[in-house]
Structure formats: structure tokens, C-alpha cells
A and B are shown apart, each in its own frame.
Chain A
């Protein structure tokens, strides 16, 4: 019994240290975003000056705007295209499926920097001016495979007879798609969209190589600004942490609320 107890305490200590390791830097950045002085090491009093500075700095507000805008558009496009393609592939030949899956593997398995430079050269060879559009195209490109990876397993477990039944009962293929298939695979679509959003929101490497013309996202800004002490980055980081926590909270809490509502209906 004693041995079991001490093992349990040992496990608790390990986990406490793990959480300290993971969360200390995050809390550190949040605390110092309210620091009155420039220092990153000595806290000299509470102030909101770095937030004021951040919101008056057009480079920072623009970066936030671009990050959110690109993440939203890339998520919408990649979720729609990824879902449609995954459904199409589930009805296509094995060879085509295998080819598309292997090609999709390239951006997923390759280091980001390889994908990034391939796009940089591609856009330059075509003489496309790098900026918002090239960054958006790149984001859509690397998001779609993740949507497909999360939708395809749901399609595999889908009963093919359902679609046959819908068609036999007089549904058009489009109706079968929107009324039968999509509702059945909705969890896969939602988690795919979520992955796409965070992939796009957090991306640094691919954005860094495919943007230009002064269009920056939050990651690029942090990278270029961190070369000298700039406490506004702490404020910006705190906003990022807040946004992601709220988004995650909504994603985790909404299903619980919905479930409760459905239970009430019954």
C-alpha cells in the first residue's frame, strides 16, 4: 500500500512540475505585459502603457487584422474544398486517391521551410508580387490536407447504403450530399476547420517566406521585433494567448451547452 501511495505522490509531483514548465513562460509574458518599465526581468509597477502603445502602433494592429483575416478566409476555403474533395475521393478510384494522398503528404511531412521556399520560388518565377494574396494562397494550400485528413476517416465509416437509399428515394445527388453525407461527417468537418484555423493563425515559416509588400502577420512581427527589447510584444502575445484561449473555450464549451439543450428538448 505504501509503495502505491508514494508512486501516486511521485506522479503528482512530476505532473505539477510539467505544468509549471509549460505555463510559467506564458504567465511570465502576461505579467510583464503589465509592467511599468521596459525591463523584461524587473517588475516595477502595474501599467497599461504597452497596450496603449500596441494599439497606437499601426504595424501591430495591421498584423493582428491580417492574421485573423487570413485565418478566417483560409479556414472557410480549405474546409469547403477539403470536404468536397474528400467526398469526391471516397467515390473515386484507388489510384487517384493514393496519388492525391501522397501529394498531400508533401506539405504535411516536409519541414515547413521546404514548403515555404518552394512557394517562394514558384511565386517569383511567375512574377507574382508577394503580399496578402500569395500568403493567403499558401495558407489555403497547407490547410486543405489537414481538413482532408480529418474528414476522410468519417467518410470511411459512413454507410454507403445511406446514399443509395437517398438517391433511390428521389434525392438529387446534390441533396444527397447536403442532406445525408454532410450531416453525417459534421464532426470531422468541424475538427478539420479548427485545425485549419489554428494552423493558419499560428503559422510563421510559410508566411514569412511567401509574404511581402509590408504585409505581416503576428508571428512575423514577433520575429522581426524581438531582435531588440520591445515590451509591446508582451502585450501582443497576451492578446494572442487570450484569443486562442477564448476560441478553445468556445469550441470545448459549445458542444456541452448544445448537449444540455438537446436533453432539455427531449
Chain B
């Protein structure tokens, strides 16, 4: 069966030009000095050294990881009960809820993030609401709170959907068996439901952490101009200060961190999944 093989050739050529070459450019620029001609490269590690040794950039990297970590943690803690509640609805209710949770993700992320501006303002609705209880006004816009809130709002649907899928795959008879064998609700949740839903939690974590660590418009819109994460540093290297070599090095560091964490979570995912089946 060779008839259709040649149909792949155009795409192989396309990805070589449009994916492989541009990615190699990042590597090339990351390891060369700025101001080089296209033909005379001078290899260097300076770009990486600069990122690791510079106090400001280290703080930015640290802050990005910290924000992404808390975003992911909150998404797990809130997403799990939500997914659990959905899984316990009637079949019809489940379909409707999943559709309702998916719908906002189809609306432009920028638009949804922008929507929070008016809500979080000092004289916004949220502060008006808090004012009813005699609290505030609390400054929320342009704080870490606003940035994490924006990220949770944008990314938690991925977590809910992943956990829900793994809860749904679970054989409900296992819970009956656990109950028959004398387990109470808490025990059967901790010993049966939770371990079986872990693969969903793990893939949810990657789906939230990845965009959280690299996002640059959420910190810009909700964190204000002063709030800088790794994504913002990369943006400014390419669009304002024009230091492509340094920008490439930062991108490469970020891509490697993310690829490695994806690789390891996939491994955990596989071992958890096979462990659960046994």
C-alpha cells in the first residue's frame, strides 16, 4: 500500500521550513553574540549566564514559577470538587454542565481577561459588594491576587475537564465493592476514587502550569505595567529592546523547563495509570 505515501511530502517540506528551521533559529541566536552578521557567528554562553546571574531576571523567573505554582495549586483544590460534583449529576445534567464549562473557553482569552478589569477596580463591583459588609475598598487590580485570579479563571476549565474525564472512566462498581467490604464514604474516596482520578489531576496540572508560566498578557492586563513575568521579559527583548540573542536564551530555558516537566508528568501519568489498573 504505497498509493498515498507521497501525500505526506508537501507537509514534510512545510514543517521543515515553518517549524524546524525557526526553532533552530532560537537555538542559534541563544548561543551567539548579539550584533553578528548572518555569516559570522561567535558562539557564547553569555546570554544564559546573564539570565542566571542577573538578580532582576532571577527574581522574574522565581516570581513566574511561584505564580504558576499557586495558580496550579488553586486549580487543583477548586477544580477537583467541581469535577467531582459534575460527575455525580444525572447524565443529562452532566452533559449540560460540561458544555457550560467548555463554552467560555471558546471565547477569546484576552476578552475574558479584560472583563475582570472593571470588576476588580477600586470602585468596581467586587469592592462595592465587599463594602456591603463594611470591608474595603481593597486594592485588587495590579496585584499578584489579580494575576493569579486571571490565570485561574482562564485555565481552570482544563483542570475540571481532565479530572472529570478520569472520574467518568472509573468503574462505579468499585465503589459498591468498597462499600460491601465495609469501607465508609471517606475511606472509599481516599482508597478508590482519589487514586483512580490521579492521572486526570496530573494531566490537568500540565495543562494549567504550561500556559501559566509563559503567559504574558494576563500579568500585563491585570498586573499592570510594573508586573513582569518571564513572558513579559521575552516580549520586551523582541519588541522593544531588540536583543534577540538574550530573548532566545530565555525562551530556550523556558521551553526546556516546560518540555522536561511535561515529559516527567507523562511518565508519572503512565505509571499511575498502569498502577491503578492492577
Contact = CB atoms under 8 A, between A and B. Distances in A.
B3 A173 contact: yes
Interface of A is mostly: helix
User: For this complex, into which size category does the number of interface residues on chain B fall?
Assistant: 35 or more
Given A15-B86, A23-B104, A103 B7 contact: no
Interface in A85-140: 85, 87-92, 96, 100, 103-104, 106-107, 109-115, 117-122, 125, 137
B117 A226 contact: yes
Contacts of B6: 88
Interface string A1-39: 001000110111011001101111110110010000000
Interface stretch (A54-62, A185-193, A196-204, A258-266): A196-204
A88 B255 contact: no
B119 A202 contact: no
A237 B21 CA distance: 36
B152 to A, nearest CB: 9
Interface stretch (B53-61, B195-203, B207-215): B207-215
A85 to B, nearest CB: 4
Contacts of A76: none
Interface stretch (B39-47, B108-116, B168-176): B108-116
B20 A40 contact: no
Interface string A196-235: 0010011011000100000000110011001000000100
A14 B81 contact: yes
B22 interface: yes
B112 A26 contact: yes
A173 B248 CA distance: 46
Interface residues of A, number: 79
B82 interface: yes
A74 interface: no
A26 B12 CA distance: 42
29 contacts: A11-B88, A22-B104, A40-B121, A40-B124, A41-B125, A89-B8, A90-B4, A91-B4, A91-B5, A100-B15, A111-B214, A112-B211, A112-B214, A113-B234, A113-B235, A114-B254, A117-B26, A119-B22, A125-B38, A205-B216, A218-B108, A218-B110, A223-B217, A223-B220, A240-B108, A240-B111, A241-B111, A245-B103, A252-B99
Interface of B: 1-8, 10-12, 14-15, 18-23, 25-26, 29, 38, 81-82, 84-86, 88-89, 97, 99-101, 103-104, 106-112, 114-119, 121, 123-125, 128, 153, 157, 185, 210-211, 213-214, 216-217, 220-221, 231, 234-235, 238-239, 244, 247-248, 251, 254-255, 258-259, 262
Given A42-B123, A91-B4, 17 more contacts: A19-B100, A22-B100, A22-B101, A22-B153, A26-B112, A88-B6, A96-B8, A111-B211, A113-B214, A113-B235, A202-B107, A223-B110, A223-B221, A226-B117, A226-B221, A233-B114, A237-B111
